[in-house]
Structure 1
Amino acid sequence: MQKNINIEFPLEIFLALREDENKLSAEIKKLIAAKYYKEKKLSIGQAAELANLSEEEFIKYLAEQGISIFNFDHPNEIIEDVQNA
């Protein structure tokens, strides 16, 4: 099941970006997925699904954004993240 969320942009900003709506939507989803993964609100699998990428593609995207997948405060967090994937 999907949930649609609308984001309003001032027309001038949208035009300045020179992106089509689908490409902009895909980029926003990747950015949000990366943010929530970094904040530990989503597992790598959940974030990849939100970004509409495979886990491998999402890990590469995280690396491009300078976000490490090895940010764990406690060893149990690694196990928990793998179980939630």
Structure 2
Amino acid sequence: MSQLILDVPDETLRSLRFSNDTAATETRLAAAMKLNELGRLSAGGAARLAGVPRTVFLSCLADYGIATFVLSEDEIAGQAPLG
């Protein structure tokens, strides 16, 4: 496994009221969610980056208002009506 080192200003951690461990966890989750939202990582890959099970990751997406499944207009148009 690779390790990345990120310099974070002390005042940023203080303003967020994060410990170093919490900052690392939150940063991994935020990066994973954004990379998934951009289509750069699958939900499974993003969950692995975040260090959580896929179901937990999908729940986190919903908690942050990020669409879990993204359909194109063509995909939506091809769908049968609900109900």
TM-score (norm 1): 0.78
Find the counterpart in structure 1 of residue 64 from structure 2. Answer: 65
What RMSD in Å do the two structures reach over aligned CA positions? 1.4
User: Unaligned regions of 5+ residues in structure 1, if any?
Assistant: 76-85
> Is the CA contact 2:47–2:57 (under 8 Å) kept in the aligned structure 1?
yes
Identical aligned residues as a percent: 27
Find the counterpart in structure 2 of residue 80 from structure 1. Answer: none
Q: Whose helix fraction is larger, Structure 1's or Structure 2's?
A: 1
Paired residues, what number? 74
Larger Rg: 2
Query: Using the alignment, how far apart are the partners of 1:72 and 1:42 within structure 2?
Result: 16
Find the counterpart in structure 2 of residue 46 from structure 1. Answer: 45
Query: Using the alignment, how far apart are the partners of 2:59 and 2:65 within structure 1?
Result: 10
Higher relative contact order (CA 8 A, sep 6+): 1
